[in-house]
Structure 1
């Protein structure tokens, strides 16, 4: 009977396994193989060389792209964590009605009814040289000339990331906070703890799993993104995803494949570190 159940379990898992093999594992294997190929201006040359990796790991352009990528990832993580924790704390501990919490969540998800590109483009008339922000500051006499850093800059890229991915931090943190036994908070208050001590010693430690899960979402999304950098950076700045996109545009597929492999390895190392801090199975 046990062997029969095991066979049924294998048959039930086989469709998903085949899908993962066909659409995840196989493409990664192909990318890994192509990353060792040679190429010229008009064709790919099947080979086994390490030139693509050698150039990738020694090029100052690659180093700058990775520095920009980690900078964007850290800043986006920091600001989304601050916003996500604050919003989740407010929803979990200051709104006691389930209906009110649902309404607030729906309000938070309204921007997701449109595509990321539309949401990014909506910042352009607001932050542009002749946009609403500069026009208002000039009219109020606060500035003498338009602020150029508001758009097509690192500031604009980070702002777009925070706008796009804050909800990915709110949801897992809120889920963790809703699991906190309220009697623990009451016990801490009865023991003489002030609001800050309750937050530091009770709320934050018990919300760690949600913070880590939200961090995984935000970090992986930012590390692999290039559209946001392309639109909001205006071609002035670049990250690893943008570098790979440019190589694909120039038909330099082996170099792009090598960049993709290195980026994948970098993200996987980050995920291994984060997964060691929380049991992801408890959050699913």
Structure 2
């Protein structure tokens, strides 16, 4: 008997017994969320895509199926400049928020030993979010203005002789506001990932003679990649869709895709705005798809 079992090899894993209605029950449990996503996510996107093919005059829009909006969009050099500016803002903001967010998360996760202090410092990081985004953004204007606190301080210290004009209503002020608004979206996922790192791995690295920099590069950063990727997706998508910040902090002297859509809506050119929104959505999805090729973030979700 034992020889026969040995010849048969390892036993095949037991199959789960079929329970009638199990799949039906699963679909029923998922149906409320499916209906919500279909009504509030898929349906608006489908409507935007449909409207992007409609036509428009100075006074009305009419249902049609034409590619005029996309032809005008891709044939205009303004479109490429605006998309280039949007990508520039997203890239610079991502780099700065990553540097700041990683540093803050690293300090909270590995240098603060007390859980109570960690929670307290983390709440301090969220204090700016207790007010409106517009309030936090506008608060930079009197600070960065020609007669603002920054210029007056630099003049009083003798660092400059006259006020700096580029502090406000420039790319600098736009990116500064973006970093201020969205850094926490980078801190949270990175901090969450760092807190899951087994501290024994760091001890093992030190026991094997690794320096602090080597431990950071070869242990912490690779294990933190999912959090970095989640934060990157948050920051990039938020920056590429933002238009209020660019409008206020640049004094309407700069533009991004969000402002392009806002201007079309203000002129009642809804088909043109919808076409631009579709192109922006596709661009963001392509960027996210590229990012997801590098890191599997399912274990973090």
Q: TM-score range by the shorter chain?
A: over 0.9
2:170: which partner in 1? 153
Q: TM-score, normalised by structure 1?
A: 0.97
Query: What residue is the counterpart of 1:258 in the other structure?
Result: 275
Match of 1:270 among 269, 277, 287: 287
Greater shift in the superposed pair: 165-174 or 271-280 = 271-280
User: 2:9 maps to which residue?
Assistant: none
2:73 aligns with one of 56, 75, 78: 56
2:13 alignment counterpart: none
Question: 2:29 corresponds to which residue?
Answer: 12
Measured in 1, the distance between the counterparts of 2:281 and 2:234 equals 15
- Structure 1 residue 8 displacement after superposition: 2.2
Q: Which residue of 2 aligns with 1:233?
A: 250
Q: 2:50 aligns to what?
A: 33
Aligned to 2:192: 175
User: Aligned-pair distance for 1:56?
Assistant: 0.8
SS of 1:149 mapped into structure 2: helix
How many angstroms apart in 1 are the aligned matches of 2:107 and 2:158?
36
Uncovered stretches (5+) of structure 2, i.e. residues with no partner: 1-17
Residues 36-59 of structure 1 deviation map (CA, whole Å, 9 limit, x = unaligned): 111110000211111110111121
Would you say how many aligned residue pairs link Structure 1 and Structure 2? Answer: 284
How far, CA to CA, are the matches of 2:169 and 2:111 in structure 1? Answer: 38
Q: Is the 8 A contact 2:54 2:62 kept in 1?
A: yes
Structure 1 equivalent of residue 145 of structure 2 = 128
Q: Out of 42, 47, 67, which is 2:84 matched to?
A: 67
Unaligned stretches of 5+ in structure 1?
A: none
Q: Tell me whether 1:141 sits opposite 2:152 in the alignment.
A: no
Shift of 1:11: 1.8
Deviation at residue 88 of structure 1 after TM alignment: 0.6
Matched, 1:245 2:259: no
Separation of aligned partners in 2, 1:260 and 1:92: 39
- In structure 1, the residue matched to 2:120 is 103
* Aligned-CA RMSD value: 1.1
Which moved further from structure 2: 5-14 or 210-219?
A: 5-14
Separation in 2, partners of 1:105, 1:271 = 27
* SS class of match (2:21): helix
Q: 2:94 aligned with 1:77, yes or no? A: yes
* 1:90 and 2:107 correspond: yes
Point out the more displaced range, 273-282 or 132-141.
273-282
Alpha-carbon separation, structure 2, partners of 1:3 and 1:82? 53
Question: Aligned match of 1:116 in 112, 122, 133?
Answer: 133
Residue aligning to 1:195:
212
Q: Which runs of 4+ in 1 moved over 4 A?
A: none
The residue that corresponds to 2:183 in the other structure is 166
Task: Pick the structure with greater CA Rg.
Answer: 2
2:229 and 2:297 in contact (8 A); partners too: no
CA shift digits 1:197-229 (9 cap, x unpaired): 111111111111111111011011111111111
The TM-score normalised by the length of structure 2 is: 0.92
- Distance in 2 between residues matched to 1:222 and 1:262, nearest whole Å: 16
1:47 to 64, 78, 91: 64
- 1:23 and 2:63 correspond: no
Structure 2 CA distance, aligned partners of 1:168 and 1:122? 20
